[in-house]
Amino acid sequence: MAVVALGALAAAYVVIRYELGRQLDLQLKQQAGLAAQQSWGHRTGVLYGECDWLVSPACAQIVPADPAAPGQRGLVLPVTGATRKVAAGTLGPYYSDIDLRGHAMRMYTAPLREHRALQVAIRSDTVDQGVEQAGLLLGAVGGGGVLLAAGLGYFASRASLRPVTRLTATAERIAATRDPAHRIELPPHETRRQDEITSLAASFNTMLGELEESVAAQRRLVADASHELRTPLTALRTNVELLARAERLSPEQRERASGALGRQLREVTGLVNDLIELARDEEPRQLVEPVRLGPLAERCVTDARGHWPEAVFSCAVAAEVTVPGVPARLARLLSNLLDNAAKFSPPGAPVEVRLVREEGYAELSVRDHGPGISEQDLPYVFDRFYRSHQARALPGSGLGLAMARQIARAHGAELTAERAEPGGARFRLRFRLPDEG
């Protein structure tokens, strides 16, 4: 704004100086025309005006082409070679700036008849003073405009960047306290604005909310893991201390303590491995490859039959579907669903796996015929360490379904749970397929 204002004022100054100079030249030309009419009968010398004392604002004189011509002693205006050339007709009329006895004057030299030249001069100091005053006035206006622009710009920037200042203060407060619960507080009148700065503050608050939720989830994970590890570690310590006094135990007691120790070690190892798997947020991109869901489901069902001989597994593949993913991770997801279904199914009850393809997506479902999921437990079945009332008497850590959903999200799929009719639970794994049109 300051540059534009100064540029406009500089242009105005140039235009004013040009116009005043042009008006002065037009006035000189008009004076020259009047003097030319009065020059009849005058041969040389001052035509009119008290040029010696500059009482009159203008004066005129006639100059012959011959420097030796009589009557040139009273000439007041300066005569140069260019003046003689104009009188001789070899040079056209011209304007010049002269200084006469300390006064600035503008002079116009034009040819007359009979090899003579007419010189008309008029005082230009008033024009110069006007130009100088205009320059001073424009400079003052420009300086005031620059200061006004700077002040308005300062207050406008302070008002518009106030959310950024709050953002900086909030970030520094979070860095000092390590508490992501802080937010950028915006007054109601700023919240209603739809500018980029307000959007930045709102996005920062959203990011802080996600960060707070992530930190809280990590703290819950650590607390839940500590709680889950406390019992098996206590049992492990008890059995280790018991085996340390093996000489006091009978062979049956030692065998029972050794078996319990092995089972507890496997539980702790499985729990730690599950926690490590849950700590991974995404799949390694270098391991992603096209995965055929049909053969993968059949292989996982075959493995589940070996782990759960009392359950009856069936696999129906209605369409061939290939999706990008990590085969081992997708196999882990499906194995967790099959283990969960077999764990809750009565002996001899079927566990049904079905792969179908519909418009825009493919669905892989696992359905059991167990007690199903209650309405109270349904919103929490994918939470870490969550175990329903029916599951608390069964082995497990409550991490299998949480890990399954995390793997599904990492592959861009959606995993949901629902009650199946007339009984049991159904888990649906949906993959969005690219548009083939």
Residue 75 has pLDDT above 50, yes or no: yes
DSSP for 221-267, please give it: HHHHHHHHHHHHHHHHHHHHHHHHTGGGS-HHHHHHHHHHHHHHHHH
Distant-in-sequence, close-in-space partners of 209: CB < 8 Å, separation ≥ 6? 183
- The pTM score is 0.48
| Residues 116, 202 within the same domain | no
Give φ, ψ of 243 to 5 degrees: -70, -25
pLDDT band at 54 (very low <50, low <70, confident <90, very high): very low
Note the helical H segments in 178-195: 188-191
CATH code of the domain in which 392 resides: 3.30.565.10
Task: Give a yes or no: residue 148 inside a domain.
Answer: no
- Looking at the 3D structure of the chain, how many domains does it have? 3
| Residues 257, 349 within the same domain | no
Residue 45 has pLDDT above 70, yes or no: no
What pLDDT, in 10s, does the model give residues 116-160? 888 898 888 888 888 888 888 888 888 888 888 888 888 888 877
> How many residues belong to the chain?
437
Task: Give a yes or no: residue 300 inside a domain.
Answer: yes
pLDDT band at 313 (very low <50, low <70, confident <90, very high): very high
Distant-in-sequence, close-in-space partners of 267: CB < 8 Å, separation ≥ 6? 232, 395, 397
| Residues 257, 308 within the same domain | no
pLDDT band at 50 (very low <50, low <70, confident <90, very high): low
- Cα separation of 411 and 156, whole Å? 47
**Residue-level pLDDT at 296:** 93
Give φ, ψ of 324 to 5 degrees: -75, 135
**Residue-level pLDDT at 430:** 94
> Residue 112: beta bridge partners?
116
What pLDDT, in 10s, does the model give residues 78-105? 889 998 999 898 999 999 998 887 788 8
CATH code of the domain in which 15 resides: 3.30.450
What pLDDT, in 10s, does the model give residues 355-396? 999 888 999 999 998 888 888 888 888 887 666 655 554 555
Which of 258, 278, 298 delimits the end of a domain? Answer: 278
Domain that includes residue 391, residue range:
285-432
What is the average pLDDT score of the chain? 81
**Residue-level pLDDT at 53:** 42
Residue 55 has pLDDT above 50, yes or no: no
**Residue-level pLDDT at 283:** 56
| Residues 63, 94 within the same domain | yes
What pLDDT, in 10s, does the model give residues 279-308? 665 555 667 899 999 999 999 999 999 888
- Cα separation of 347 and 148, whole Å? 87
